[in-house]
Amino acid sequence: MTDWIQAFLHTPFMRFIVVENIHYLLPELILLVTISIGLFQASGRSKQSHDDAWSTALWGSFFAIAVAKVLAFHLHVDPETLTLYSTPVNLPVFYDVIRIDLLYSIVRTFVLGGTFLVLLFSRAYLEKHSSTAAEFPMLVLTASLGASLLAGANDLIMLFVALETLGIPSFILAGYFRNDAKCAEAGLKYLLYGGASTAVILFGISLIYGLSGGYTQFPMITAKLQLLETTLSGGFQPVLMIAMVMLLGGIAFKLSAAPFHQWTPDVYEGAPLPVTAYLSVVSKVAAFALLIRVCANFLFALSPADAGTGIAVLSGLFVVLSVLSMILGNVAALRQNNIKRMMAYSTVAHVGYLLLGFVVFREAALASVLYYLLAYVYMNLGAFAVITLISLQTGRDDIQAYSGLIRKKPFYTLALSIFLLSLAGIPITAGFFAKFFLFQSVIQADSNTLWLIVLALLNSTVSLYYYLNVIRVMVVNEPSDMVQSLTRRVDAPQTLPILLSVVACLIGTLVLGFYADPAMMYTRGAMAQLNQPDPTSIQALNQEIHMATMAGDSADVLALPAVVHQR
């Protein structure tokens, strides 16, 4: 048996797996196998096969998280001191279309963790409202597969493939209840807006592809653009700026940043509650990771003198996006009676806060953005888990349905209050430290951003009103008819997974608050290790440039054919 295993490990197939580091994509491969098995089970007509599909999805996502955490610990953390290794890990996977680094390891873990929590509190809701609930977890896992790959994309083609792998299942999920008019409208709006944003992103990608002379990998594109910097004296920069604006416009749609947020309240209100939770958290985390990589790679292509101009242009765009998102998100949330629409505008406002880190684009600011995202996963998913529980038992999503909830469901009230106070930035919660670290790092990076921080603080104060209003309704008001019909007894077994997800999010929200400094240590390490050059890629390009230069024709240098980088 041992000889057979050794022989298998030395086959060309296994050598290819090891040389191309594909084994580091084991969590994604687990998701792929889970989706394949689950779709087969969901195609059955019996209730048992549908139950098996849900079990497969839950166990598959759980094992994917476990493997992702083990890989992250093994690759980046010294087991004796629990600190990061001094030598950063930056591994190219499958001809360098994906880059395994600390940023990818952190984002992948939380994307998979958020996916597991969404599946945990969605089953009871889906089975109550739909007769075809078994396909739902497979669509969620497919979207999460795209989100995970998107966080580590190091190639324009992989970027687009991962973006569509995330987007297409999300469109289907938004309109999952086919007989619900609002749900169908949400799916259609999301599809139309999503298609438009994809076209804009593709246009930006095509410009970058053309500028680089046919390269698709980020390190090769950066090296080629740096070569153009010396040969064309920066003449390509206007086109690069247009390409970056196109990419940012498309990503801003995924982030729900104003003024690209118009789809958000309608889709959040019309989509099933678990889908709303998924779109508000998991897709946002992956999109922000992509934004960090895109800006880091292509801004590094500019020389120090010209980088100032390019960063100033993009910084101005981020200022506009951030200010509009904070103001429009918070002001619009004040007027909402539907809690899903209120949370939609809350998401827009939080995206505005997060974009402050990109205004200065410094390592400390981006580390704070990453910490903010991790805290946001717990506090926002926890809030949606409680909202799902209440919606299941009352059948309503308006805020007045929560009147007097503390008298019947004190734990629900306490949990939702903690999550909302964390979203508002009240001390000891993860949300407070997320805002504190972010605002502090931005003002330290550039004192001219003081007015932005003051504006962000004022908007945080405004957000207190609509968060505290929900708490007031739950605690002060007399119980509504729906709440009055509830009992104080333990809920049915079907809702226990939702309660588990609520408890998990409560622990995460409080632990990230109490242990904010250790968490920030890892996020700072992720930003410090970002965009480490790949010597093999740069060496291959430099050799090609040298050969073209030796030929004595500068035009050849500008028209170098694309090479396939093989490690």
Measured between alpha carbons, how far is 476 from 402 in angstroms, rounded to an integer?
A: 11
Give per-residue pLDDT as tens, 90-130: 888 888 889 888 999 999 999 999 999 999 988 888 888 77
Measured between alpha carbons, how far is 567 from 565 in angstroms, rounded to an integer?
A: 7
Spell out a b/e string for 163-184, using b for 16 or more CB atoms within 10 Å of the CB, else e. bebbbbbbbbbbbbbeebeebb
- In contact, 22 and 93? CB cutoff 8 Å: yes
Does 171 reside within a domain?
no
Does 481 reside within a domain?
yes
Give per-residue pLDDT as tens, 275-320: 999 999 998 999 999 998 888 877 655 544 455 566 677 788 899 9
Q: Can you list the positions of beta strands (E) in 297-353? A: none
The CB density around residue 203, as the number of other CB atoms within 10 Å, is 15
Measured between alpha carbons, how far is 257 from 240 in angstroms, rounded to an integer?
A: 22
Is 60 exceeded by the pLDDT of residue 479? yes
- In contact, 399 and 337? CB cutoff 8 Å: yes
Report DSSP letters for 231-291, one per residue: HSTTTTHHHHHHHHHHHHHHHHHHHT-TTS-THHHHHHHHS-HHHHHHHHHHHHHHHHHHH
Give per-residue pLDDT as tens, 5-21: 666 556 765 666 766 77
Does 369 reside within a domain?
yes
| Three-class HEC string of 349-415 | HHHHHHHHHHHHCCHHHHHHHHHHHHHHHHHHHHHHHHHHHHHHHHCCCEHHHHCCHHHHCHHHHHH
Give per-residue pLDDT as tens, 333-392: 998 888 999 999 999 999 999 999 988 888 888 999 999 999 999 999 999 999 988 888
Does 251 reside within a domain?
no
Measured between alpha carbons, how far is 468 from 17 in angstroms, rounded to an integer?
A: 53
Give per-residue pLDDT as tens, 442-454: 998 888 889 999 9
Does 383 reside within a domain?
yes
Is 80 exceeded by the pLDDT of residue 165? yes
Match 């910097």 to its residue by tokens: 229
From residue 222, give the alpha-carbon distance in Å to each of 152, 312, 324, 470, 546: 17, 19, 31, 49, 17
Cα 492 to chain centroid, rounded:
33
Query: Residue 498's domain spans which residues?
Result: 357-532
Does 129 reside within a domain?
no
Query: Which are the contacts of 535, defined by CB distance < 8 A and separation ≥ 6?
Result: none
Measured between alpha carbons, how far is 40 from 171 in angstroms, rounded to an integer?
A: 22
pLDDT classification of 439: cutoffs 50, 70, 90: very high
As for how many domains the chain has, the answer is 1
Does 434 reside within a domain?
yes
Does 454 reside within a domain?
yes
